[in-house]
């Protein structure tokens, strides 16, 4: 393997080594030249003198080298090349003196080439130093030759040559000054040019970065962006626009923005937008746009002109997808509407309950007095006719109050396990008698429908009211379709209907192809006594609403004018109970009995007190009356005699019946209590029954019903 001192893996180090070797070679040649001149006898010096001359010459070399090296520009000069330049100058001068014959012009030419290299290599000041050194050295060498070998020297000729040499060096110096100035100017311009190129490159890179940054920013914005010219032709779209509307970029570019996402039924709106944009104004609006698949999307529009050098070159529009917000607003509006409707229904239900209570108290006086009057008067055919009419009217009013109480969620009178499909089949024959002959009734029930817990009579009221509405809505021929199926309600469904809970429900659907209802009618259908021509029966649907709500269910009506009506009722399903289910309860004829004992009537209405007291006395009971809760408690605590039973109203002016009950029971343990009220059993009355009361009587009640209840409780049956 060959040995080399020049490294191959470091080019800069290799260059420095080569230049150093060149300088050493030139120094060796210069030394050999001096020795040759000495041995040729050109210098008649002793060896010591020659050594001193050589040392002095080398000291001169290094002195001028040091002077020049001190002023070198490190960026452009190299020490080894400078030393080579000095050695080259000295050697050429020595050769000029050595060859005094015809070879001198050749040597001078080589010298001038070397000086030209120095002229181009060094700056002006450094080149002046080198010229002075060459002139002095040349004069010294010629002087030595003249002293030791005058026969070889033509004095006049050498003076002319030295003068010419000095003049040439002076001209070189002048030229070097100008060229050095030009070189410095070019160097400064070169530096400035490099700086400008670097700045332009940096500016270009920054511009490319900013362009890429803004393109990425626009492309990754959460809103869709489209840029179009004054004609509405799309020139640019971002990725969100592509995803939002479903158009590939190549399909969107070049199309009219109005044709791509606009709607035919919004031409007036589109023209207004175009006029606004064409006038140079901005646009901020909310509207609907069409996707590629035809689906509609709610969007917000923000548009403004694109201005470049004070010239409008187009417009941009930003599309924000506001469908989730619009959906949330619709959902919130729907829930608010439901809440308002529920609050209104609750307020009306409270009013209906109060009205029903007052009606029942008034009916109590009417019905009771009719029965007492009938018993006191002698039998007569004409008299019985009037009594029958009064009793029929009283029953009609009683049914109305029952409906009011049902709407007021007054209670489930006799809740039992009910199989809904069997119930419908049993009830339909009764309802079909009132249907128009051309109406056909269809039924469809899913298999294995679970039972529900419901009051048979109230459910008949529900089905009867809905079918009656359908019957009136169908003008000529039509159908009424009744279906029942099991539904498992999930969270999404129950969110839409706050009255429902998660779980298994039975959905009872009654559908007809009648005239249908508009939105105003549909929103008011559950209000008491709401009715329109061909739809509704006053309290019917209001009672339906109350009954369904009281059964922990939900009712929903879907209807449009000319498209019929669908009523859906959701009732909680339970596991099957009694195989026999619930049946309609018929009231047997009750015989009046003769009772005995003392009964405390706790009631604040005078008309009810009077008729109840008369009934009780007619049945043989002794009667005590308390018009307030405090009076009842006082009697229970202070009366020395026996009190066999108390008739307790739940609404008293001072203390509610629910609070009176435990206090009178504390004063008289074992006292039997029957709750009687114009309200239904569900609610406060049920709480008193749960606390230990024996029974409940709904106002208005007949003498026979009162007699049967008293006998049952007092005898412990």
Helix orientation angle between 606-618 and 703-714, rounded to the nearest 10 degrees = 70
pLDDT of 405 reads: 64
Residues whose CB is less than 8 angstroms from the CB of residue 287 and which lie 6 or more positions away in sequence, other chains included: 266, 269, 298, 299, 301
Considering the segment(s) 415-574 as one domain, its CATH architecture is: 2-Layer Sandwich (3.30)
Task: Looking at mean pLDDT, say which of 28-42, 44-58, 432-446 comes out highest.
Answer: 432-446
Tell me the helix, strand and coil percentages in the chain, rounded to 5.
Answer: 55, 20, 25
Return the bridge partners of 444, or none.
Answer: 483
How many angstroms from the chain centroid is the CA of residue 595?
Answer: 74
Confidence of residue 579 (pLDDT cuts 50, 70, 90): very low
Peptide bond into 700 cis (omega under 30): yes
Helices (H), 246-314: 249-252, 257-261, 267-278
**Is the per-residue pLDDT at 717 higher than 60?**
no
- pTM of the full predicted structure? 0.47
513 or 106: which leads in pLDDT: 513
Which among 114, 92, 113 is positioned nearest to 103, based on CA atoms?
Answer: 92
Residue 110 has which token pair? Answer: 């080589």
pLDDT of 30 reads: 59
pLDDT of 234 reads: 86
List of E strands, 579-680: 598-602, 622-626, 645-648, 672-677
Question: Domains of the chain: which residue ranges?
Answer: 18-193, 224-321, 330-404, 415-574, 598-714
**φ/ψ (deg, to 5) at 106:** -65, -45
Confidence of residue 575 (pLDDT cuts 50, 70, 90): low
- The tens digit of pLDDT for each residue in 154-206 reads 666 666 666 666 666 666 666 656 666 666 777 888 888 889 999 999 988 88
395 or 37: which leads in pLDDT: 395
Which among 180, 176, 178 is positioned nearest to 168, based on CA atoms?
Answer: 176
Question: How far apart, in whole angstroms, are the C-alpha atoms of residue 394 and residue 626?
Answer: 27
716 or 607: which leads in pLDDT: 607
Residues whose CB is less than 8 angstroms from the CB of residue 671 and which lie 6 or more positions away in sequence, other chains included: 636, 643, 645, 646, 664, 665
> Are the C-beta atoms of 114 and 89 separated by less than 8 Å?
yes
369 or 652: which leads in pLDDT: 652
pLDDT of 91 reads: 63
Return mean pLDDT, the chain. 76
Question: How far apart, in whole angstroms, are the C-alpha atoms of residue 64 and residue 80?
Answer: 14
Question: How far apart, in whole angstroms, are the C-alpha atoms of residue 330 and residue 323?
Answer: 10
Helix orientation angle between 155-219 and 104-121, rounded to the nearest 10 degrees = 30
> Are the C-beta atoms of 148 and 96 separated by less than 8 Å?
no
Question: How far apart, in whole angstroms, are the C-alpha atoms of residue 196 and residue 178?
Answer: 26
Considering the segment(s) 224-321 as one domain, its CATH architecture is: 2-Layer Sandwich (3.30)
Least confident range from 406-415, 528-537, 589-598: namely 528-537
Question: How far apart, in whole angstroms, are the C-alpha atoms of residue 461 and residue 241?
Answer: 57
Question: How far apart, in whole angstroms, are the C-alpha atoms of residue 70 and residue 126?
Answer: 9
535 or 415: which leads in pLDDT: 415
Question: How far apart, in whole angstroms, are the C-alpha atoms of residue 578 and residue 4?
Answer: 114
Q: Report the CATH fold assignment for 598-714.
A: Rossmann fold (3.40.50)
**Is the per-residue pLDDT at 29 higher than 70?**
no
Task: Looking at mean pLDDT, say which of 74-78, 254-258, 278-282, 580-584 comes out highest.
Answer: 254-258
Tokens 């080398």 -> residue: 58
**Is the per-residue pLDDT at 529 higher than 70?**
no
Return the bridge partners of 308, or none.
Answer: 311
Helices (H), 122-263: 124-148, 155-219, 239-245, 249-252, 257-261
Least confident range from 37-41, 189-193, 312-316: namely 37-41
Question: How far apart, in whole angstroms, are the C-alpha atoms of residue 220 and residue 199?
Answer: 30
**Is the per-residue pLDDT at 16 higher than 70?**
no
């Amino acid at each position: 393997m060959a040995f080399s001192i020049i490294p191959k893996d470091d080019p800069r180090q290799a260059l420095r080594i080569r230049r150093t070797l060149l300088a050493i070679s030139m120094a060796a040649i210069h030394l050999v030249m001096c020795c040759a001149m000495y041995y040729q006898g050109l210098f008649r010096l002793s060896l010591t003198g020659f050594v001193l001359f050589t040392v002095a010459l080398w000291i001169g070399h290094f002195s001028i080298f040091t002077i020049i090296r001190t002023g070198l520009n490190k960026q452009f000069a190299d020490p080894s090349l400078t030393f080579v330049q000095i050695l080259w100058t000295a050697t050429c001068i020595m050769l000029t003196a050595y060859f005094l014959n015809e070879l001198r012009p050749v040597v001078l030419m080589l010298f001038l080439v070397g000086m030209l290299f120095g002229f181009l290599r060094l700056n002006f000041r450094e080149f002046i130093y080198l010229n002075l050194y060459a002139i002095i050295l040349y004069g010294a060498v010629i002087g030595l030759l003249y002293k030791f070998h005058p026969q070889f020297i033509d004095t006049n000729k050498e003076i002319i040559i030295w003068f010419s040499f000095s003049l040439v060096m002076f001209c070189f110096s002048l030229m070097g000054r100008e060229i050095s100035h030009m070189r410095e100017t070019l160097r400064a311009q070169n530096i400035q040019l490099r700086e400008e190129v670097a700045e332009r490159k940096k500016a270009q890179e920054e511009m490319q970065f900013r362009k890429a940054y803004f393109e990425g920013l626009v492309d990754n914005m959460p809103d869709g962006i489209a840029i179009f010219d004054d004609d509405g032709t799309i020139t640019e779209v971002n990725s969100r626009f592509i995803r939002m509307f479903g158009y590939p970029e190549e399909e969107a570019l070049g199309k009219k923005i109005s044709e791509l996402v606009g709607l035919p039924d919004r031409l007036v709106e589109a023209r207004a937008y175009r006029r606004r944009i064409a006038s140079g104004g901005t646009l901020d609006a909310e509207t609907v746009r069409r996707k590629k698949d035809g689906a509609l999307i709610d969007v917000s529009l923000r548009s403004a002109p694109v201005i470049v050098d004070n010239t409008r070159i187009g417009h941009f529009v930003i599309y924000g997808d506001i469908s989730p917000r619009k959906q949330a607003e619709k959902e919130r509006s729907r829930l608010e509407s439901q809440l308002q409707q529920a609050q209104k229904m609750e307020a009306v239900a409270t009013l209906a309950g109060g009205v029903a209570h007052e009606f029942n108290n008034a009916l109590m006086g009417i019905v009771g007095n009719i029965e007492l009057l009938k018993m006191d008067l002698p039998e007569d055919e004409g008299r019985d006719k009037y009594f029958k009419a009064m009793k029929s009217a009283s029953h009609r009013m009683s049914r109305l109050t029952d409906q009011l109480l049902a709407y007021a969620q007054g209670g489930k009178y006799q809740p039992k396990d009910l199989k809904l499909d069997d119930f419908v089949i049993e009830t339909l024959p009764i309802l079909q008698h009132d249907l128009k002959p051309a109406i056909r009734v269809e039924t469809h029930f899913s298999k294995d429908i679970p039972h529900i817990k419901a009051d048979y009579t109230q459910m008949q009221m529900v089905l009867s009211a809905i079918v009656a509405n359908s019957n009136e809505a169908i003008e000529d021929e039509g159908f009424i379709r009744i279906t029942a199926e099991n539904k498992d309600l999930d969270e999404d469904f129950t969110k839409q209907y706050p009255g429902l809970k998660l779980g298994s429900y039975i959905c009872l659907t009654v559908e007809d192809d009648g005239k249908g209802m508009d939105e105003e009618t549909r929103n008011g259908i559950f209000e008491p006594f709401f009715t329109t021509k061909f739809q509704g029966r006053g309290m019917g649907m209001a009672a339906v609403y109350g009954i369904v709500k009281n059964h922990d269910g939900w009712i929903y009506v879907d209807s449009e004018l000319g498209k019929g009506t669908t009523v859906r009722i959701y009732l909680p399903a339970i596991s099957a109970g009694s195989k026999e289910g619930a049946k309609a309860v018929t009231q047997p004829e009750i015989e009046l009995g003769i009772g005995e004992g003392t009964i405390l009537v706790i009631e604040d209405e005078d008309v009810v007190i009077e008729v109840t007291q008369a009934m009780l006395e007619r049945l043989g009971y002794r009667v005590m009356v308390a018009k307030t809760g405090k009076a009842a408690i006082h009697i229970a605590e202070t009366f020395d005699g026996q009190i066999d039973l108390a008739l307790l109203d739940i609404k008293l002016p001072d203390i509610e019946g629910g609070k009176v009950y435990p206090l009178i029971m504390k004063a008289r343990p074992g006292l039997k209590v029957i709750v009687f009220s114009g309200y239904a059993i569900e609610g406060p009355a049920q709480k008193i029954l749960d606390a230990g009361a024996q029974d409940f009587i709904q106002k208005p009640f007949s003498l026979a019903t009162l007699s049967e209840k008293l006998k049952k409780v007092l005898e412990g049956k």
